[in-house]
Structures are given as C-alpha cells and as structure tokens.
Amino acid sequence: VSSNGNTAASRYTEVEVGRIDEIAPGGRKLVHFGDIAIGVFNIDGDFYAIENTCPHQGGPLCEGDLFRHLDAEVTEDKRIRKFFRSEHHDIIACPWHGYEFDIKTGRCLVNPIYSTQPYPTRVEAGAIYVSVPNALAPAST
Amino acid sequence: LLERPSAKYDIVDVDAHYLENVRDFAEYLEEPDRTTFRNWSGEYHLPVPSGVYNDTHLGGRIKRTAEKMGANFGGITAPEHVKETMEWLGIDAIVLIPTYMLTLGVLSDRDRAVAICKAFVDYMLDGRSDAEKGIYFPIVVPLQDPEAGAKLIDEYADRPEVCAVMANAGTFQPPLGSVTYNPIYEAAQRHGLPVICHAGNLGPDFSQFQRGFQSFLENHALDLVFCNEVQVTSVILEGVFERYPNLQFIFQESGVAYIPALMHRLDTEYMRRRTDAPVLKRLPSDYVREHLYFATQPFETSLKPKHAEYLFDMLGGPDRLMYASDWPHWDWDHPDVISELPFLTEDGKQKILGGNARKILRMHSPVAAEVAR
C-alpha cells in the first residue's frame, strides 16, 4: 500500500499520525479520527496502534499503563514458576478494570473474544503511518 | 462511540461505597463512647477483612478509581466525590453503602456495634446524603442487638435520606432467617423499608471455608457469592416471608449467575424434605420471585447473550434485578453492562437500571426528566 494509496481494491488508507521522535520508547500518542481514537505506541522502537475503546466495558484502553507480560509455567517437579514472558512493557491494562491486551497483536490475555484488532503501522522517512479503514481517513485533497 | 445510557434511562445505583472515616465517627457518638472512640489506641474500630491485605488494584493495572478518588481505593471519602461519581457514571440516584462496616457482623462487642450503627446514621445525615439530590443511604442495623436495631429504625426511618435497612451478609451468626432478628424485620416492614444484604468480603483468613486460599482471586470469586447463598437460603427456608409478608430483600454484589442455580437447589431439596420447613406454603423459588431483588454487579460479562437471556428468564426476568456500580471498588460495573444487553426490551432495561429500585427502595428524588413518563 503506498502512502495515501486509496485504490478500489483497498479498504484501508495510510494516514500519517506523527514523527517517530514525537513518541519516545514506552510512550504513546492518541490520534482522533472522527469519533474514533487510536493509540499509537512505541514499544522499544517499534510502533503499534490499537483503538482507544476497551471491548469489555468501553473504557479508554489506551490511557492504561504498560506492563511486562506476567506468565507462569508448571515446572518438572510440578511446582509453579512465575516469570515475565516479555522483555519489554508490551502489555496494556485498561484503566477501568485492568483487562490486559498484547499491544502488538491486540489479543486480550484473558479471553480472545475481547481481543481488539490492531491497526497496521509503517515508518518511512521518520514519519509514522497507520492504516485505517477508508471511512475513518480524512478526505484526501 | 456508544451512546451513554444516562441519556436514555433514569439510572439508580443501589450500591456505591462510601468509605466512612472511623476516626470521624467519634464526633457522632454519644458520651462516654465519644471519648472512648476518640482516644482509641488501635488502628481500627472494626475488624478488618484480610482481603484488604491483597492488592485489589492489580499492581497499578486498574487506574480509573484512583484517578477519580485520589489515592483512596476503598470508597468515596468526601461529599463532593458523590456528585462527581453520579455525573461521570450518569447516575440519577445513588445508595451509599458503607465500607468498613461490611465487617460489622464479625464484631462480638454488642455495645460497640450498636454505638457505631447509630453514629453512622448521624454521620451520613450530616451533609453526606441529600434526598433532594438523590443521595441516599441505608440504616445499618446491629445484628448483635436486634431490639436496639429496631429502635434505631424507629428513630430514623422517617428521614428522607434513609432508603432502606441494611443487614450484612458477612459471617454473623445465626444467619438472617433466624427469628432472633424479628424485631428488625418487624420495624423494617412497619416503615415500608426493604432490607439490603450486601456481600461481605471477609477474606481467606477469616472464613473457615476458604482458609488456605493463595490469592485474592480465589477468595473473592467464592466469598462474595457464598455469603449471600447462605443468607438467601436462610431467609427463605426459615420462613421470613411467612412472618413478614410485605418485606423485600435486596442482595448485593454476588452477580446474577448464582441465582437460578440456588433456586433449583432449594426447590429440589425442599420437595424431598418439606417437613423440615413446614412453614413454607410455596416452593422456595416462588419466594425468590416475590420477595428478593438482586443487584447485578459484578455482572457476569462472560455469559453469551443467549445464555444470559435464559438466565434472566429463570430468575424471574428484569423485575428481580437492580443495577449497581460498586464504585469505586476494583470490580465496578458501568451502566453499559445492562443497557447493552441485546435481548432486553427498553422497558426491561429501564426496570433494571432504575425502575425496580425506585419501586422498592424509598426514594423521593425526581426521576430523570428525559425519561419521566
């Protein structure tokens, strides 16, 4: 998909949402498209975008804090060992009820039916682009 | 964006938590209790549930209640927070349930229980409630002394801010069906007030059945439904509603999924052992459908809509349910959890969100203008 490429075959439009130096690692920027807000996150230099509405009770998901993925496994001697699955803080917790989502995939950690669809991102020449449905994209000039 | 339910419905929240400051309580006690409590050397005037030693807010994952309430997660601590809460949740009338006093049933000291219950009423009447603005609270009765509880109801029942009587579901013994509590029920029925029974989170260190649980999750998942199952069983099978046929109970903070399971359990056992409860004239579930109401929080959002629809039908439909937020506790519910249910009619949604509460609790404040018919 080319920048602002809006062909008949594509239902998505790439929209520039900011410069990479605007969002520090661990930071985020909220971008509004009409009634929809999308959070763009810098996870250790890579950019990810998810919608700012929690699928659980509609809370402002992108206002949540980021955490490392706390996980656990059953060890060979049948004990339980807790560990951090991720090196980076790539799990967002909704500030309303604490439901957790993987920023990179949108997967809700407790129940996949609550997962949110991430928006593809791309960086080119220092600019961050997010692919949004055509209906949400600002009218091209 | 979702259309906020406050725009369409008259919303009554039957369970939001005021964090009564037990230090402030001293000023509302009569002497010599005032001096005694003012100089109290211990940290708490009431037993503290072991649940509070856990991190209810998940290591910073739940932030919203702290943002709205400052650092205090336990409850609403100031009158201005009540107004903010009502505005942000879009609530037209609110019932303020105490927080520390949820453990009142654990207290053995009868005189202290009586003194605290009376002081709580004066404390709430002193600028912390306002019937004109839809801010109500229940008279919490000392189960330790039912005669004193009845006296307290008689003394304060006429205050417009009082909407109900409250008996805690925590481990007080005997359970609420006992004839021991007749004076309380008689007074409640006489004044036309329902009895609120709020689940008590006593924690794994308090409850014999849960001792040894390793997490707050384990404890809370069971504790807050088990205690109400005990009380529903007791009030129905011991014939409270044959003794007081106009009395209504509102059970809070156990969700809704347990209700049909318990109704069928009680019916089946009763049909095999009717002679254990000869005072009953109908099936236990018939009493549930006529005398019991249930606050929906924490609503089981894991239910598929088709299953939730059956479940509502099994427990008697929207007539039996009342929306509650439990704000500002960690497992609070937004009114969306009811207004977004696809199988409910508009009338059914309005009943759950506010209509049933307006009918059963004693409320004087006006119904939201937009939905007043």
Q: Could you report the per-residue pLDDT of A10-36, keeping only the tens digit for each?
A: 889 999 999 999 999 999 999 999 889
Tokens of B203: 């924690």
Q: What's the ipTM?
A: 0.78
pLDDT of residue B260: 98
Q: How many CA atoms lie within 13 A of B141 on its CB side?
A: 34
Question: What is the bridge-based pairing of β-strands A70-74 and A80-84?
Answer: antiparallel
pTM value? 0.89
Taking only the tens place, the pLDDT of each residue in B227-253 is 899 999 999 999 999 999 999 999 999
Higher pLDDT, B193 or B215: B193
Higher pLDDT, A69 or B103: A69
Q: What CA–CA distance (Å, rounded) separates A61 from B59?
A: 17
Contacts with A, B 33-62, CB within 8 Å: 57-62
Residue B172 has pLDDT above 60, yes or no: yes
Q: Sort out which chain B residues have CB atoms less than 8 A from A56's CB and list them.
A: 301
The least confident of A29-43, B11-25, B62-76, B277-291 is B62-76
- Residue A138: pLDDT band by 50, 70, 90 thresholds? confident
Closest partner CB to B62 (pick from A58, A95, A111): A95
Cα B280 off chain centre by: 26
Q: Sort out which chain B residues have CB atoms less than 8 A from A96's CB and list them.
A: 62, 64, 334
Mark out the alpha helices in B277-352 (DSSP H runs). 284-291, 305-314, 336-339, 346-350
Interchain CB contact of A93 with B (< 8 Å): yes
- The conformation of residue B121, written as its DSSP 8-state character, comes to H
Q: Roughly how many angstroms between the first and final C-alpha of chain B, as a whole number? A: 27
* Stretch (H or E) spanning A92: strand A91-93
Closest partner CB to B61 (pick from A35, A67, A111): A67
A129 with A121: CB under 8 angstroms? yes
Q: What CA–CA distance (Å, rounded) separates A68 from A118?
A: 19
Contact call for B63 and A64, based on CB within 8 A: yes
- Provide the strand spans (E) within chain B: 12-18, 93-98, 135-140, 162-168, 195-198, 249-252, 292-295, 321-322
Contact call for B62 and A53, based on CB within 8 A: no
Taking only the tens place, the pLDDT of each residue in A65-118 is 999 999 999 999 989 899 999 899 999 999 999 999 999 999 999 888 999 999
Residues 6+ apart with CB under 8 A from B249: B194, B195, B196, B197, B235, B240, B291, B292, B293
Q: What CA–CA distance (Å, rounded) separates A107 from A118?
A: 9
Q: What CA–CA distance (Å, rounded) separates B293 from B25?
A: 31
Q: What CA–CA distance (Å, rounded) separates B20 from B99?
A: 7
Q: What CA–CA distance (Å, rounded) separates B188 from B246?
A: 10
Contacts with B, A 60-79, CB within 8 Å: 63-65, 67
B182 with B238: CB under 8 angstroms? no
Interchain CB contact of A126 with B (< 8 Å): no
Mean model confidence pLDDT for chain B: 90
B184 with B193: CB under 8 angstroms? no
Q: What CA–CA distance (Å, rounded) separates B165 from B168?
A: 10
pLDDT of residue B101: 87
Q: What CA–CA distance (Å, rounded) separates B139 from B114?
A: 12
**pLDDT above 90 as % of chain B:** 66
Cα angle A88-A89-A93, degrees, rounded to a multiple of 5 = 155
Average pLDDT over residues B261-265: 98
Tokens of B202: 């006593």
Contact call for A96 and B1, based on CB within 8 A: no
DSSP B192-225: T--EEEE-----TTT-TTTTT--SHHHHHHHHHH
pLDDT of residue B336: 93
